[in-house]
Amino acid sequence: MKTLKKTSIGIAVIGLLLFISCGSTSKISENNPPFKVLSATYTEWLGGQPGVNGVLVSIKIDNLAIKLDSVYFRNTSALLKLNKKTTSYNVSIVLPNTNKNLQLDIDPRKEFGNEVPDISTKIPFELNDNEAVVSYLQKGKTNYYKISSLIEIKKEKRK
């Protein structure tokens, strides 16, 4: 009876370890992609209303036979679209509004009504502000490539 109990515990532990190890982890390939990044830029933009802002990401590669699918940038992801005139992939990402008026007080009852921050949008990569990961399909398999240094293009302020 003791041997059966030990065996079932052992099988359960092994099954749990296999289940955890088979989780979907996204692997980034940084060597030998089937394309070369010719340029990778981003431009921050402000909308017409307070708190509406985002970033325009543009990526140009040398091999248009490879289709870039999406980009992961600043804790968001978005589908890339090919601009046939410029032969670059572009996307405009609306960033979440972080300028919320919170009522902070030593008395927690006075903080009633504050919204709970949305922390559910997490991308599977740890990236700096000027880094991005692009996904692309090759032989029916989704691959990921990290672009280590996107160049920020600053817009000139109007006078």
| pLDDT of the chain, 159 residues: tens digit per residue | 556 565 556 555 454 444 444 434 456 665 678 999 999 999 988 877 766 788 999 999 999 889 999 999 988 889 999 999 999 999 998 876 655 666 778 888 887 877 766 655 678 888 888 899 999 988 888 999 999 889 999 877 655
In a domain, 17, yes or no: no
Angstrom CA distances, 127 to 72, 105, 107, 157, stand at: 9, 34, 37, 28
In a domain, 67, yes or no: yes
Polymer length of the chain:
159
In a domain, 52, yes or no: yes
Q: Give the range of the structural domain holding residue 154, as residue numbers without chain letter.
A: 29-97+120-159
Residue 56 maps to which CATH number? 2.60.40
Spatial separation of the C-alpha atoms in residues 82 and 67, rounded to whole Å: 9
pTM: 0.67
In a domain, 133, yes or no: yes
